[in-house]
Amino acid sequence: MCTDGTTSQQTLLELEQIVELNKSANLNLPTPLVPLGTAAFHKGKPVLLKLDSLTASGSYKLRGTAHAVRQTKASARGYVAASTGNHAIAVALAAGNAGKPSIICVPSNISFAKLQMLFDAGIRTVVHEKDFKGHRQETAKFHELMTAQQSAVYIVDGDFPKAQETAARLGSKLKLKSIHPYDDEHGFVGHKSIGVELRDQLTELGYAGRSARLVFPAGGGGYGPSALQGCQDCGIEAKLTLVELEGQDCCNYALSMDRYDPSMLPAGITDFYVPSTAVSKMGGKGYQVARQEKVEVLTVSRGEVQSGYRQLIRRLRAQTRLDHVKIELAPAMAYAGLLRMKEIKEDVIVLAISGGNMSGAEADRVMRDYWQASQLF
């Protein structure tokens, strides 16, 4: 939170401007803030859902990515990203919205459902690495596509680290802008604009001037800490709880250190992980805010996530105005963390529904596979 009055006012004006730009850009932002049912109380406090799954890209990622693209589009030839999920969709949509092409590098095991989401974001060209005889031919093809302002999904012959390597190589060769999924400077500022949304929505719901407990999935530590800082910049007295899965607690690990050093963080969870719930390392910007604000980190079990997912789905389906809302496992993880919390001093609870790009059938399959894989260790 800014301590200098002038700087704080400048920050607030910037965040308010971001919100206005988002409103005019057909991004489905701001997202709704709604009570979790008429009797939605936990520990005597009202629970409000921030439905970031309803953005045009289906996740909170669009808020930060759209701002990052706006800040860099003047100098960017195009954009490149390696992702199989929400970040890829947000980059493709934000770049297309700004009239810039993008290359989305994905591993060969990407599901048809995820490809369909990228098509829905405006990408129509699919390129396979197996069609090239070498990097020179590959570079020539993508140079042609970028010159023609044509976006593409690039299916690499390998796993996600291979997709990341490919994205870095193409970005360097073709001079494309890469936006980090959770540790981008402009993206972090864009995510802070959620504070303006929450300030206005809490006022509309009758909670003006009330303190808030934010409960967010941890991920790489970009979403929750940026929201906390944005709330504070907007005058909301807020505290943050991050929730992550046992065995994938990269934020808990990072915050146990006195200084941020990426080389000391876990190399990654490569045996098995639940998609949309974790990354291998915490971002530096989130680390700084979380350390400064003494952010609480809770770890939940796979069983708690399974139970939380089904409970949250039931509560959403029981309400006519929320029965269309899809959720991924990350918000279910945050909900499981909320259920574990013993004491909440703040007046209201804001639970982040961070994304909805996962069907119920896919969520059930992932949880079933994770349960079976976990028995091997």
Judged against a pLDDT cut of 90, whether residue 357 lies above it is answered with: no
217 and 294 housed in the same domain: yes
Q: Is residue 67 part of a domain?
A: no
Name the range with the highest mean pLDDT among 34-38, 86-90, 249-253.
Answer: 86-90
Q: How far apart are CA 219 and CA 32, in angstroms?
A: 22
**φ and ψ of 346, to 5 deg:** -75, 165
Domain with residue 227: its CATH number is 3.40.50.1100
Q: Does 360 lie in the same domain as 231?
A: yes
Report, in angstroms and rounded to the nearest whole number, the Rg of the chain calculated over CA atoms: 20
How many whole angstroms separate alpha carbon 146 and alpha carbon 131? 18
What is the per-residue pLDDT across 88-132, written as a single tens digit (0 to 9) for each?
999 999 999 999 999 999 988 887 777 888 998 889 999 999 999
User: Does residue 12 belong to any structural domain of this protein?
Assistant: yes
Concatenated DSSP letters for 199-247?
A: HHHHHHTT-TT--EEEEEE-TTSSHHHHHHHHHHHTT--EEEEEEEETT
**Same-domain status, 167 and 194:** no
* Helix (H/G/I), strand (E/B), else coil: 156: coil
Judge whether residue 309 has pLDDT over 50. yes
Residues 47 and 118 in one domain: no
Tally of CB atoms within 10 A around 133: 8
Domain ranges, residue 148: 77-175
35 forms bridges with which residues in the sheet?
A: 48
Contact status, residue 56 vs residue 31, Cβ threshold 8 Å: no
pLDDT at 248 over 70: yes
- Whether residues 26 and 91 share a domain: the answer is no
Tell me what pLDDT residue 12 has.
Answer: 95
- Tally of domains within the chain: 2
User: Do 151 and 208 belong to one domain?
Assistant: no
Distances (CA, A) of 82 to 14, 73, 85, 271: 29, 19, 9, 20
Of 366 and 231, the structure prediction assigns the larger pLDDT to 231
Count Cβ neighbours within 10 Å for each residue of 203-235 and write b for 16 or more, e otherwise: eeeebeebebbbbbbbbbbbbbbbbbbbbbbbe
